[in-house]
Amino acid sequence: MSEQTTPQRRDIGGSLAGATMTTARAADGIDYSPVALMPDVKVLKVGGQSMLDRGRSAIFPLLDELVAVKDKYQLLLCCGGGTRARHIYSVASELEMPTGVLAALGGYVPRQNARMLQMLLAKHGGVFMLHDDFEKLPLYFKLGCIPIMTGMPPFGYWEKPGKDGRIPANRTDAGVFLSAEVLGVKRALFIKDEDGLFTDDPKKNPSAKHIPKIGARELLKNDLPDLILERVVIEYLTRARFCTELQIVNGLKRGQVTAALAGEDVGTIIYKD
């Protein structure tokens, strides 16, 4: 290239001027001291298939527990999808739709679930929020509200295609973990219909043993064919900066969620090891 005729780049300067971004090297030499944005928030996921699809018998007692402590904690509720998401994934994969389309379609279901919880919690300050409202969290908490949102991250059509199937890798567990991570929250809470992690699926194998605590790397090393949380979340956990613990509790057992919110190690803890 002849430099005389080439219009010059106008850099602004700064430590990254001219650098190729999105490579690990680009941040070398930057003194990075991360700030936890809202470390006191409790980020909770309400399971789709495990809780919401059970209807009133599972949801009402859970909401009672949450309402009882709502003035004690800042609760951010994130919803899972469940059987309607499975149904649309199934129809869309039969039509051989790309993963990104499945992720966008799957996104509608947890939003519906969040709206249902909002209606039930409205009289206690339940507020439905979209991803774009995330920066309003301080306002909601200041007013004593319970913000309720989808658990899905906003990747949608931009979800990466998978190697082995069409199911989007980042679903509602991922969104919950990533919400906790960006807020600087140490522990994310997943409310399911099991006491946590077992050596096998306890619904199919009654002799499966409960695992109270396990490291993320150890869990990945075991290479289990099935897991209670999305695989990608365990991978993220290994390189998390803030959210270094995931707690899975049984929302069908009265008091477990309350105990977990009080900081007790009920259910299963998966930690960054």
For residues 157-186, which are near other proteins according to CB under 8 A?
157-167, 170-171, 174-175, 178-179, 181-182, 184
Stretch that binds other proteins, among 21-29, 121-129, 142-150, 212-220 (CB under 8 A): 21-29
Stretch that binds other proteins, among 114-122, 149-157, 208-216, 254-262 (CB under 8 A): 149-157
Size of the site for other proteins (CB under 8 A): 95
**Residue 151 is inside which H or E element, if any?**
none
Residues 126-145, interacting with other proteins (CB under 8 A): 131, 134
Minimum CB separation of residue 163 from other proteins in Å reads 5
What does the chain come to in residues? 273
Following CA atoms 61, 181, 183, 106 in sequence, which dihedral angle do they give, to the nearest 10 degrees?
-60
Distance between CA atoms of 106 and 84, rounded to whole angstroms? 8
Minimum CB separation of residue 28 from other proteins in Å reads 9
Using the rule CB under 8 A, is 199 a contact of other proteins? no
Minimum CB separation of residue 182 from other proteins in Å reads 3
Stretch that binds other proteins, among 28-36, 70-78, 113-121, 211-219 (CB under 8 A): 28-36
Using the rule CB under 8 A, is 22 a contact of other proteins? yes
Environment class of 112 (CB within 10 Å of its CB; exposed 0-12, middle 13-18, buried 19+): middle
Minimum CB separation of residue 145 from other proteins in Å reads 19
Using the rule CB under 8 A, is 219 a contact of other proteins? no
Stretch that binds other proteins, among 60-68, 70-78, 116-124, 234-242 (CB under 8 A): 234-242
Which runs of E-coded beta strand occur in 85-230? 126-128, 146-150, 187-192, 197-198, 210-211, 213-215
What's the number of CA atoms in the CB half-sphere (13 Å) around residue 168? 32
Using the rule CB under 8 A, is 231 a contact of other proteins? yes
Q: Find, among 185, 188, 195, the residue nearest to 172 by Cα.
A: 188
Q: Which is nearer to other proteins, 27 or 119 (CB)?
A: 27
Structure tokens at 271: 């930690």
Residues 71-110, interacting with other proteins (CB under 8 A): 82-84, 86-87, 89-91, 93, 95-101, 104
Residues 243-272, interacting with other proteins (CB under 8 A): none
Contact residues for 164 (Cβ-Cβ < 8 A; gap 6+)? none
Q: Find, among 187, 217, 189, 214, the residue nearest to 199 by Cα.
A: 214
Q: Are 111 and 208 in contact (CB under 8 A)?
A: no
Stretch that binds other proteins, among 61-69, 210-218, 227-235, 261-269 (CB under 8 A): 227-235
